Amino acid sequence: MFTLLNDPTFPSLSEEHKPFVNETVMEVCGVTRPLAVSKLRHNGDVDILGSDVDPIMPTKALVRDFLDRLPYTAPCVPADSELRHEVADLIASWNAGVSWKYIEGLAETSCSIAESAYAHTSHEHQRMVAIYTACLTLADDLGHHNMEALGQFVGRFTRGEPQLHPALDCLVKLLGTLHEFCPRINADAIIASTVDSVSAMYIEVLSQGDVISPFATKYPFYFRIKTGIAPAYAHLNFTKSWGDDIGTYYLQLLPEFELVVVGFNDILSFYKETLAGETDNYVNMRAAVEQKQAISVLRQLIEENLDSVYKLRQLAAPQPGLTEIFLGFLMGYVEFHFKARRYRLHEIIAEVDEQ
């Protein structure tokens, strides 16, 4: 599931993990302009690719096209080394039986998304997001080692009983502080999304190997929203300091906001997943259900997400501060994917620079 918004490239507990190199920020900060327009034609050329055609080049073209049309400009958020040490020490205190390299990698992921995507929030808010991410990422990995810890989470949460893993105890404690950081509506939504997502993690492991019916066309997205913790990560943008007295208009952005939370990750992950031959992802699941080529679904997904960005711009315009919040999140969220070298997006940009 999650491992950063359902990123299957994040290592499992048993895998060796190399900490992400912060020097990639310098590479990203060179991209301060919209990317060069790709040579991809919008006449359905990708859709008619046969199954025997190498999907790597079309995938690169589509991702470049997506970044250009967004358009993406890197915010270049600096890394907080003290926060990384603090989060790493917290993860180590859980005694989860993981290597120090894994701990450093998880701390890097958790802090990077908190700093980049939530740069518009306070340091304390970013710290909370980093810990929240670390708890849920490790919880997702638990599904392959301790299913019962996930399966019993909701019941123990509602009864106020200790959890079966320290990371889940930490998560419950953090949920109890959310109303200090976010307005009531948002904090309530984050808690509900978290409970729903941990339950979905359990279902994801339990249902491995299930064949999805071609009539269940909405199931891939239904399940992706849950496992991607999209509502929580969207609501985390709205802080208590922004105000409890701003009304409820901004909630109309949430459906589109949730879509891009998971959609951007699916788009920016697909190149790496294609190189690795991975098919356990939203794009391939949707392609199987819709009986299409995965590259065709990727192109459609890009259009859907760019349409959501357009709608977010229009929805945010009437209320002061909303545009800065959602654009800050989106640019920082893309930057996070560039910082994490496992996505290999630097290869796509390097190819543009060489042209």
Q: Which domain holds residue 66?
A: 24-239+246-354
pLDDT (0 to 100) of residue 40 = 39
Per-residue pLDDT averaged across 86-115, rounded? 97
Q: Provide the token pair at 135.
A: 């708890």
pLDDT, position 111? 98
pTM here? Answer: 0.86
pLDDT at residue number 32 = 36
Q: How many domains does the chain have?
A: 1
* Contact predicate 283/293, CB 8 Å: no
Residue 4 belongs to some domain of the structure: no
Please give the share of the chain, as a percent, with pLDDT higher than 90: 77
Instruction: Quote the tokens at residue 310.
Output: 């357009």
3 state SS of 202: helix
Residue 181 identity (one-letter amino acid): F
Enter the tokens of residue 247: 């009304």
pLDDT value at 353 more than 70: no
* pLDDT tens for each residue of 319-329: 999 999 999 99
2 CB contacts (<8 Å, ≥6 apart)? Answer: 136, 137, 139, 140, 197, 201, 227, 228, 229
Does residue 251 fall inside a structural domain? yes
pLDDT tens for residues 34-62?
A: 333 333 333 333 343 445 568 899 999 99
pLDDT value for 350: 77
Residue 134 lies in a domain: yes
> Of the candidates 231, 204, 230, which has an alpha carbon nearest to the alpha carbon of residue 219?
204
Q: Which residues contact 315 (CB under 8 A, 6 or more apart)?
A: 252, 253, 256, 322
Residue 297 falls within a domain, yes or no?
yes
Q: Please return the burial class of 240, using the count of CB atoms within 10 Å of its CB with bins 0-12, 13-18 and 19+.
A: middle
Place of tokens 């079309």: 58
- The CATH number of the domain holding residue 120 is 1.10.600.10
Which residue reads 């959310």 in tokens?
A: 178
Which residue in 156, 73, 91 sits closest to 332, CA to CA?
Answer: 73
pLDDT at res. 144: 81
Q: Is the pLDDT of residue 348 over 70?
A: yes
Residue 71 belongs to a domain = yes
Residue 116 falls inside a structural domain: yes
| pLDDT level of residue 224 (50, 70, 90 thresholds) | very high
Average pLDDT, the chain: 87
266 located within any domain = yes
Assess if residue 14 is contained within a domain: no
DSSP labels for 307-335?
HHHHHHHHHHTTSTTHHHHHHHHHHHHHH
Q: What is the pLDDT of residues 55-77, one digit of tens each?
A: 899 999 999 999 999 999 999 99
